[in-house]
Amino acid sequence: MAKHIIGGDMVYVCNGNGTYNITLKVYRDCNSGGADYDNPAYFGIYNGSTLFDQITASPQNIVFVEPDDNPCTQVDNPPCVQSATYFLNNVSLPFSNQSYTISYQRCCRNETINNIVNPGDMGVTYTVEITTESQQSCNNSPVFNDFPPILICSGQYLEFDHSASDAEGDELVYSFCSPLQGGGNLGTPENPGDPNGPNGVQPIPPTGPPYNTVTFLTPTYSSTNPMAGSPQITIDPTTGLITGIPTALGQYVVGVCVEEYRNGQLIGEIQRDFQFNVINCNPVVVADIREDTIIGPKEFVVNLCGELDFQFINESISLTPTVSYEWSFDLQNGTQINSTDEDLFIEFPSIGSYFGTLIVNPELVCRDTAFIYVNVFPPIDADFEFEYDTCLAAPVDFTDLSVTGAGEIDSWAWNFGDGNSSSEQNPSYEYMIPGNFNVNLTVRDTNNCVDAASRTISYFPAPETLVIDLTGFEGCAPESVLFDNLSFPIDSTYDIIWDFGDSTTSNEISPVHLYTDPGTYNVSLDVTSPIGCEVAVPFNAVIQIDPSPTAGFSYTPEMLSNFQPEAFFTDESLDAEAVQWNFGDGTPPVYVWNPSHTFAEPGTYEVMQVVRHESGCLDTATVLLTSELLVTYYLPNAFTPNNDSKNEEFKGAGFFDGMSGFEMSIWNRWGEMIFMTNDPNQGWNGRKNNTGPVLQNGVYVVVVRYTEPSGNQISQKGFVTLVR
């Protein structure tokens, strides 16, 4: 179970007379703890889909592949990579009308790969096809010139020449393609099975074509988009140049296919399967400035709008013991600006485009260059005017007066000072509130030059119309009326006078007024803005207050109980033509003037009287009426337990419902308790504890305690005479 394979590719050379030299290169992760190189490795040769021959070979030229030695980049924990070569020399392949496919299969890939499904359980197939056309012309396959770099830096520009050479000078077309699967994870302690079967870790012989491809983690990755980048990682189909800026750390399987064309006809293809290891690199030196835009690796753009003077801010990084700078600018008028200062001030001669460079540590091996493009554009001037009637609550018309020296203004951003905005060039805007508003206009032209202008608008008109949310209001005296003022613009700085038509006024914006007397009232509203704009409106006969009755009643008796549950009600209302009673105990209402009502259960009830005036106005009176639950308890003073069925027990009489904590005890003259009960319905039969010996005639002490429903605790003491 290897989990160590990084990549590989297979090529061939035609020796003539139907013999070929076939070469396989395999790259492994020597830090993974996986299997070593197969020795021997098993190769399958297929003619079409039929196994033609099996060949073995031993690994040769096993070497460590060192990462690119860049003294100007710091890398933590570089990977360990080995390469080995397998040579299959003088393989005899008689001419055939079918292709020969030579394949090697092995499991497994690194399980830390980020862009494919289950990489640790997925093997590889390295294969090459010798087509009939290649056999006819004794063609040699293309051969890759270099192996991709082991490490590439996240966020840094990648440029790798992945081209191949072709002995016959055939046309080569490059593309990203999907790597091939091969074998599986059977034959390990975790996955018992045949290790040399088609799904084993080392298929013997390797299976024949066609081959399945790896499964990418879609939609993020695919064979043509194997890793994240900005700009995206791409391969030039003509040159094989791989470029882009990787943006995500990790290990990514990449497949590169090279198609070989002769006279426009496809005669063969080779494929390489490899990994890009994207890591965080720490460059020793980085040339950088404060810019407006970055257009490419180390390419910075600075835009000046109407200004010729500019101070370049150096934001470079250098971890070297010493640091130096070299600025160079061509001002296009025969003047060259050179400086070794950290920051650079330049006065450009005129509007135009200029190019310069900043080299950090120009005399050292570890140096870096920033390429600087400066665009000096004509100025842009933001300006506007506005027009409105100071006393009329109407929209304000804004007119853009901005100008630019080059290009066109294509963006307007208005801020009206009240939280609202517009992107129109010449907007019309109506304020809903008064005030002093700071209006700002920001304009941008096609050169991305920006300017802003501000003006203050004093907006204190009188409302165009006075509006109150009150139409034909009718109520019953006394009535509180909300005069909801919906007029705008109005705030507390305005002078406001309400006349309610009953000799009272208010200065509130939306007052609440209490009308106590019936009648029809005219209301008026007068509003004056802080700058003297005035509007007044009368609202004639807008308020109608109708007369109301006065509810009231009395009842007897004042205290109700379970012994006296019936109450008698006497109407005492004024100016009422109808009445309704609700007794609060769930019984239906009654409509007589002086009713009586029996409250079946003790408790507290809300009794309500509703009376109606002939105008339709109502009034209500309520009383909380309590019907108490009363307890009574009476003790006799003698009893005769002589078995004549008369007066055989001594116990109390009365009404016990609602009683709690009852206790009756009986004592003899020597202070001995001879009977006790907690049940008021249980009596004493003249025996000790009702079951002991018969007690002698005489006088006994009785003590009774209990708690009434109201919570009062009652204690009674008396004497009882026992007579037989």
Q: Return d(Cα 189, Cα 206) in angstroms, integer.
A: 22
- Dump the DSSP string for 210-224: S-PBP-B-TTT--SS
For residue 660, what are its two tokens?
């709690």
Q: Return d(Cα 148, Cα 275) in angstroms, integer.
A: 8
Neighbours of 254 (CB within 10 A): 23
Q: Return d(Cα 147, Cα 256) in angstroms, integer.
A: 11
- Dump the DSSP string for 323-386: --EEEEEE-SSS-EEEE-SSSEEEE-SSSEEEEEEEEESTTSSS-EEEEEEEEEEPPEE--EEE
Neighbours of 456 (CB within 10 A): 10
Fold of 284-377: Immunoglobulin-like (2.60.40)
Query: What is the number of alpha carbons within 13 Å of residue 401 lying toward its C-beta?
Result: 9
3-state secondary structure at position 133: helix
Series of mean pLDDT values for 10-residue runs along the chain (724 residues): 79 97 93 79 96 96 78 70 95 96 92 89 94 96 92 87 96 97 87 92 95 94 94 96 93 96 96 91 88 89 94 92 93 91 95 95 90 95 96 95 92 97 97 96 94 96 88 88 93 95 96 95 95 94 95 95 95 97 96 96 95 96 94 92 91 91 94 95 94 92 93 92 90
- CA distances to 255, 286, 287, 360 from 317, in Å: 36, 5, 7, 9
State residue 719's pLDDT score: 94
Q: Return d(Cα 214, Cα 118) in angstroms, integer.
A: 9
Domain boundaries, the chain: 5-279, 284-377, 380-459, 473-546, 553-628, 632-722
State residue 347's pLDDT score: 94
CATH number of this structure's domain 380-459 = 2.60.40.10
Q: Return d(Cα 392, Cα 414) in angstroms, integer.
A: 23
State residue 76's pLDDT score: 65
State residue 2's pLDDT score: 46
For residue 432, what are its two tokens?
């809903």
Q: Domain spanning 473-546: which superfamily?
A: Immunoglobulins (2.60.40.10)
State residue 3's pLDDT score: 65
Residue 108 near residue 2, CB atoms below 8 Å:
yes
Nearest to 152 by CA among 67, 26, 63: 67
> Tell me: the pLDDT tens digits for 430-476?
999 999 999 999 999 999 899 999 999 999 999 988 988 876 789 99
Q: Return d(Cα 295, Cα 303) in angstroms, integer.
A: 13
pTM of the full structure: 0.50
CATH number of this structure's domain 553-628 = 2.60.40.10
Fold of 632-722: Immunoglobulin-like (2.60.40)
- CA distances to 58, 188, 235, 316, 392 from 433, in Å: 89, 80, 61, 52, 13
Query: Which is it for strands 265-279 and 299-305: parallel, antiparallel or unpaired?
Result: unpaired
The answer to whether 380-459 and 473-546 have equal CATH topology is yes
Q: Where are the beta strands (DSSP E) in 131-239?
A: 143-144, 151-153, 158-161, 164-165, 171-177, 234-235
